[in-house]
Amino acid sequence: MMNRRTFLKDISGGVVLTSMLPMLASAIKAPLRFGVITDIHYGEMEPRINRYYQQSLQKVKDAVNLFNESDLDFVIELGDLKDTNGDVSDTLRFLDDIEGVLQTFNGPIYHALGNHDMDCLSKEEFLSHTTNAGKTKGRSYYSFVKKGVRFIVLDANFNEQREPYCRGNFSWKKAFVPQWELDWLNEELRRDKKPVIVFNHQMIDHFSGVSKSLCVGNAAEVIDLLERSGRVMAVIQGHHHTGNYSQLHGIHYWTMKAVIESDYPTHNSYAIVEIDRQGNISIRGFKDCESRELEKS
């Protein structure tokens, strides 16, 4: 793994993660800009435990309106797109409604799967009611390239036996990346010399002091592959609704705050990420997705 010295600073109201990767950064055709949103949990249910399910529709409309004004290369949704009242036909309608709002973005849309996406559906049902751009359609884990950066989307929605989550037959506290996906990840990381950003729903930074129930059960195996590649700049994830940040061995792990928490219009959460030619990653948060100055590492 290459020796990487990193530092962080706050600029223009956003979080800036700066990674000194001259060999990798030279491949970036900057500026590269994309929108991020996570844990929307849309459904036609009454609020409970500070979750305002129906309001998520308008929250996402606001986010997409901003994204459409911002000259972005793509938008990614990081899982738990919808919720459920326990009825499959209703849940599919919730999914179609919120996906319809996301698809009003005037560019490519990508999804990562979250545990709630299979709360009463199968993965196949969820994937058949959502659309990813390009050749990623119908896949739960995949990669794509934009402006010299490889983006890798993982699926950790497998139980301890490495069986896929399906119709709520799982524990949200137990998420794993199966061996065949780890093998695929290793191949993707060795595929070329492009810098990499990884997306996942559940948290990978199990070392960061958060509850292990929020993290991928075999996260250490994932991290080992990421670190050995020497190409990963950041991991961007959801699942932990209050958000989080950590850094280890030159890789930044940023957990985005959830859309679902608290009522509209005061509360919402979405972000625009920009990568410049030097490989600096600027995260500009809106509403509850706050800015903060991060310590130099």
Q: Could you read off the pLDDT of 24-41 as tens digits, one per residue?
A: 666 788 789 999 999 999
Residue 17 pairs with which residues in a beta bridge?
8, 281
Asked whether residue 295 is domain-assigned, the answer is: no
Q: How confident is the model at residue 156 (pLDDT cuts 50, 70, 90)?
A: very high
Residue with tokens 């709360």: 119
220-230: per-residue pLDDT in tens?
999 999 999 99
Residues 6+ apart with CB under 8 A from 125: 92
Give the CA distances from residue 251 to residues 3, 228, 289, in Å, rounded to whole numbers and listed in that order.
12, 11, 21
Residue 14 pairs with which residues in a beta bridge?
11
Asked whether residue 152 is domain-assigned, the answer is: yes
Asked whether residue 293 is domain-assigned, the answer is: no
The enclosing domain of 70 has a CATH number of 3.60.21.10
DSSP 8-state code for residue 203 = B
Asked whether residue 233 is domain-assigned, the answer is: yes
Residues 6+ apart with CB under 8 A from 156: 175, 176, 177, 200, 201, 202, 216
The count of domains in the chain is 1
Asked whether residue 297 is domain-assigned, the answer is: no
Q: How confident is the model at residue 280 (pLDDT cuts 50, 70, 90)?
A: confident
86-113: per-residue pLDDT in tens?
999 999 999 999 999 999 999 999 999 9
Tokens of 26: 């030279």
Between CA 142 and CA 263 the distance in angstroms is 34
Give the CA distances from residue 115 to residues 99, 227, 253, in Å, rounded to whole numbers and listed in that order.
17, 26, 20
Asked whether residue 84 is domain-assigned, the answer is: yes
CB hemisphere CA count around 17 (13 angstroms): 22
* Region 124-134 average pLDDT: 96
Asked whether residue 294 is domain-assigned, the answer is: no
Asked whether residue 296 is domain-assigned, the answer is: no
Q: Which residues span the domain enclosing 249? A: 6-287
What is the predicted pLDDT for the residue at 9? 34
The separation between CA 122 and the C-alpha centre of its own chain, rounded to angstroms, equals: 20
The burial of 159, by beta-carbon neighbours within 10 Å (0-12 exposed, 13-18 middle, 19 or more buried), is given as middle
Between CA 63 and CA 4 the distance in angstroms is 34
pTM of the model: 0.91
* Mean pLDDT computed over every residue of the chain: 90
